Structure 1
Amino acid sequence: MGTSDDGTIRRPHKHRRRNAAVIGGGVLVVLIGGYLVGHFMTADVLPSNTTIQGVSVGGLHTDDARAKVNAALSKELSAPVSLADGATSVEIKPSAAGLAVDWDATMSQVDPGNSWDPRVIWNTLRGGDAVSLVSTVDEKALTSAVKATAPRFSVAPKDATVALVGTRVVTTRAVQGRTLQAEGTSETIQEYWPLKKRGSVPASVTRRAPAVTDSEVSQVVSKTLRPALSGPVTVDTGSTKFSVSAAQIATATTITSTKGTVTAKTDMARLYKATEATRARLGLASGRDARIVISGNSPTIRPSTDGRGISQPNFTKAVAPALMKLGTQRIGKAPITAVPAKFTTADAQKMGVKKVIGEFTTYFPYAEYRNTNLTLAANAINGTFLKPGETFSMDKVLGPRTEAKGYVPGWVISGDVMKEEPAGGISQSGTTTFNAAFFAGMTDVEHHPHTMYFDRYPAGREATLYYGNLDLKFRNDTRYGVLVQAYTKKAQPDGRGSITVKMWSTPTWDKVTSSALVKSNYEYGRTVTSTDADCHPQSPSPGFDVNYSRMFWKNGAVARTEKFFWRYDPTDEVTCK
């Protein structure tokens, strides 16, 4: 209702209100009609523009749409999932890994099922959407399948290496370590499957760097090895010259890798020794070390003499700087001077070799092989000198016991019988030397009693030998030198011979003694008749335990005790037929 200019009140005409109502009602009818049409469309077929994982299914009923998508994608869905890292690729079957399409969830995205939801109806009226497949995952199966591939991805880190083959530098490249991370890889697979992303699935891995890298090896090669081996070094003495070859440098060069650091160093002392023959050709008078020998049944010192030559310090000053330079024209100057002996007369006098501190003698029945082999052994042992801290090794002193050295076949223990072998009987020299060292107070490093008992030796206090396998070793842990003297008295056909070993030094202890050799737990062998062509008759002897002690005396009392034990096997009586 309104008012005119003259104040008259005017009311709207009734037909205008009716027109507005009619128009509004018409619009409502159209909307309701469209809504009903959209509702019925959702209950029938999928919207025309609907696609599932790129497959067009518009206008199809739900079951037909599912069948079409399954047929179109079945090959891709069943194809193995390829896990990859670098050149390593491993395939996993989806079915074995618990991977499958959730068809109900997938179809629910496009098939609302007779929905009254305005949003669903609106989507239907505008033609539908593009949707992706929905997956279902058995987490346990997927994790198990991924873990099964771990060995294929596992790589242990390897350090870069460098080595010398002659004068040639040989390197190997470092390898980065790698470990598969199962949890991360499983998550990535789910991001790709089904058909969310194309291509191989990048494996989730942890990488481990090697301790020594290619760069570190390259530095050692370029800064140390390549210059050192780039050619010979000429040493100019002022009156003559000699050459240190690249091959000699290589023999003295050591490459080490410690705690992730690789280094190369030329040991100048070793290089000096390696060029000894080269320097000898200069014709210079060589020196001679002092020697301590037994003369007239007492120790005497044969004095040292100095020589003329290039000392190791002067050699090092000339050669070491040249090793850091590239090229073949490398020259260092080293004068010829007096070269003192390595072991001088004064050094020998300080060793304190004055009197016998331990000795022992064993006896043997006549056999020419014993005379020969034991005399050769005694001659080799005689004159051996041990400085403080040095270790005596019978294998090193005697070396291989060969016919070329004069050793002859003799009887040895083989298993539980006696057989003839080269250098038979040589173990008696080991037993005699062991006992001399025992009473001299030397430190026992290695000794092996026989398996059978021989009554000519003290039970348990013996040392059998077999080159490369059974050795006799003892160490001089005193502050004095020890000179070993050894000699034999050969047996005559109607008598017996002997071998004696003495240790000359300055006593550290008042005396060293052995306790009684206590035997127990006796056992007896069998009587055996042998038809073996190599049979040797053998007398029986019992097996038993033996216990004893070594006692070190100081100021009239035992200051230290060492206990020893051995078990002998019984010896069978062997009769030959």
Structure 2
Amino acid sequence: AAVASAICLMSKTLRIALICLLVPVGLALMVGIVFASDRLTRGGEILGRVTAADVELGGLSEGDALAALRNLEDRLAASPIPVTVAGHYFSLYPADVGFQIDEATMAAEAMVQGREGHLGTQFGWWMTHFTGDGTRLEIPYDYDEAALAAVVADWEATGLADPPFPGEVTITDGAVEVSYPTPGVGIDRAEATRLLDAALGDPDRNEVALPTSRLEPPLTDTDIDAAAAEAQRLLAGDVTLFSGQLDLRLVIPASVLGRSLTVTRDDTTSPPSFIFTWDPAPLRSYLAPRRAALTTDPVDAELLIDVTTDEVTIKPGRSAQEPDPEALAARVDQAARSGIRAASLPYRDGAEPDETTAEIEALGVTGLIGEFTTPHHCCEPRVTNIHLIADATDGAIVMPGETWSLNEHVGQRTTEKGYVRAPAIIAGELACCDSPINIGGGTSQFTTTLYNAIFFAGLEDVSHTPHSEWISRYPEGREATLGWPVPDLVFRNNTEHAVIIKTLYTDTSVTAKIYGDNGGLQVEAGLSGRYNYTGIVTRYLRNAAVPPGEERVTQSGSGGWSVDVYRYITYPDGRQTTEEWTWHYSGLYRIIERHPCMFNNSCPDPEP
């Protein structure tokens, strides 16, 4: 029985010991579970009881914390700080001095609370927040110190009966006047800045009393005299603004300078300083009636083509240059401070040219893409016509996709334009020179020349008409005649860039050149053999001067044939295309003149 009792007694003691051991372990385990659960469920939130002023940040996401801190900034900026100066009451509105909180830094600092250090440190922080008052963050803020100094200076001027006077320099109608400094009672600026700095960060907005004391002025008589001397130096005479490039100048009299120069004391610096500025209004008024004489005309951009070397360059355009009234004051200051009282006249761009550099560049003309030359005899009347139509065509611009007509461009050839009568093929007869068609005779040679330049440029042929009789100075089948209003020479610019026609001539030849950018096409010409020959067609004409029974051959005539003309185009990628034109030369009539009686058999019988 004693043994059994001892065993029972030992079992009870062991049970108590086990219970005493397990209770704190269990409690610790429970606390650990709560800590771990808190961390797992609040991974994107601010931990614990973290506050900024009266704003509770704990439990907020970083984005929500930023929003709450911005609201705090708005409230603090709009909440005035009561201030007293020598019995006078003022209010400092933080927004007036640029008060702002660094919300991003505060939110980031709040997010790391309880997450720094090792796990034991984090657990200790959590326990203090679990049982203590939490963490109160300092508010990082900033403000404009110069604006605060200006507010304090204004309080001093309005709140004190006898503030220190720093001294003043003024200009009236060009005369420099001074007021020297005097001592007085003023605000202790350094202490005032310290107190107001602390008050801006205090959300409770407690009243701030700024201390005053007997103060010496921050400037001396010597400082005032130096500022006055500077003003007099700036007004010491006329200033000249000039443009060496344009050979223009503007002389501004000292009297105008005197109405423009102003002196302002800057009390935000220590010690205060004087700022010299120029009122633009008197300067602009003086410039206004002289502005036109100082303004240059705009200069058009030009596309320059050297027809000898075929080099294409762009001469840049330039806007009109006019005096810049906005920069006038700064340039006057520069001149007045220089030893020679002179500086450059400021200019700005005015009216744009009719043709700007960008517009010329947009044409995309890069070089020669087609040319052709045909010869002729010197000094004939037809050469006059060739030169006139070449001059009228020179420089013609055809934009991408446009269709261009030679007749529309040069108009009808008339004697008023200087064209003269010259031989022409009229209805199968080489005639000169009674028909109106003869005015401008020979222009078909220029038409043929231009047509071939168009041909080798790879441009689209819309309409052309070869002669009825092949003329040996022209390529067979690859030529064109011109009349009014038809036949005409018409082509379309089928490239992505503008093309420009340039012409030149000598006493014995005429040349047409096409400039543009056809993408690097290579063009070759081909010609078939002659075929479909036709005989000479005879035409009889009445002429009473021919004796009855006789005939007079005035034109021997020529037979005809057909040919095919080919244009072979090779593209940069190696593709090739072939275009074909067919033309039949009908030839000239054989013209025989007879007496009119021979057409109706009314001629008298010949005498025996």
What band does the TM-score fall into relative to the shorter chain?
0.3 to 0.5
TM-score normalised by structure 1 residue count: 0.41
